[in-house]
Chains A and B, each alone.
Chain A
């Protein structure tokens, strides 16, 4: 079956510390993968998307970066977190052409203190 895993579920990090969030997909190959962020009181903001290994497109300039070292692995990173990086981070992938849409991971609640 096709599933998406995202961890950790919650994270509290001090300002200036590094970040690494991981997302893995099972049951498919060469998926389009996405990182979204939902900040307080705002909608879903696309941060990065990837159509293949090593292929990353950035939608919003910021101190975050993404990498796709393997076909079904998508990583969101930061070298130094800012307070404004707090939010709910979601990984998603496109599930297919018929009735297509995203399947989202369970999300990571990041609080930068």
Chain B
């Protein structure tokens, strides 16, 4: 049962434009959400996170939006750069849950930024 879903396996964007990566979740107990970036043959690296008490968090070119009523979050990258080309994973956690610290991941979205 996929509790975190990334329905777009790939996204292609021109350099300088906005990239929007989407993520949906089903578990209403999730209260912390993260985005990870992964290059081939490397471990994922943390990008940005948001708590369920907020609806927006911004860090430089990266902004994460959370819509709790729709159980949806998105990652905006503005402006997109070729170095942003990677697989992006959405993840969620429920601190109130029994497995402290466990993250549930989506299947990832391959972002390609072309010049």
Which A residues are closer than 8 A to B by beta carbons?
6, 32, 34, 36, 42-44, 46, 49, 51, 57, 88, 90, 92, 94, 99-107, 109
B99 at the A/B interface (Cβ < 8 Å)? yes
Q: Which of B41, B43, B100, B101 contacts A105 (CB 8 A)?
A: B43
Residues of A within 8 A of B32 (CB): 100
Q: Spell out B's residues near A (CB within 8 Å).
A: 6, 32, 34, 36, 41-46, 49, 89, 91, 99-108
Contact call A49/B46, Cβ cutoff below 8 A: no
Residue of B nearest to A34 (CB): B102
* Secondary structure call for the A interface: strand
Would B89 and A43 count as touching, CB distance under 8 A?
yes
Min CB gap B87→A, angstroms: 9
B49 A51 Cβ-Cβ under 8 A: no
- Cα A49 to Cα B34 in complex, Å, equals 19
Q: With contacts A43-B6, A92-B43, A102-B44 known, what are 18 further pairs, Cβ within 8 A?
A: A32-B102, A42-B107, A43-B89, A43-B108, A46-B102, A46-B104, A57-B99, A88-B41, A101-B46, A101-B49, A101-B103, A102-B36, A102-B91, A102-B103, A104-B45, A106-B43, A107-B41, A107-B42
Given the complex of chains A and B, what is the CA–CA distance between A109 and B43 in angstroms? 11
Which of chain A's residues has its CB closest to B44's CB? A104
CB-CB nearest in chain A for B101: A94
Question: Which chain A residue has the least Cβ–Cβ distance from B104?
Answer: A46
Cβ–Cβ < 8 Å partners of B43 in chain A: 6, 90, 92, 104-107
CA distance A99 to B99 in the complex (A): 18
Q: Which residues of B contact A32 (CB under 8 A)?
A: 100-102
Instruction: Give A51 to B46 CA distance when docked, in angstroms.
Output: 21
Question: What would be 15 A-B contacts, judged by CB atoms less than 8 Å apart?
Answer: A32-B102, A34-B102, A36-B105, A42-B107, A43-B107, A44-B44, A46-B104, A49-B102, A100-B32, A101-B103, A102-B44, A102-B91, A103-B46, A104-B43, A109-B41
Give min CB distance, B99 to chain A, whole Å: 7
Cα distance A100–B100 when bound, in Å? 11
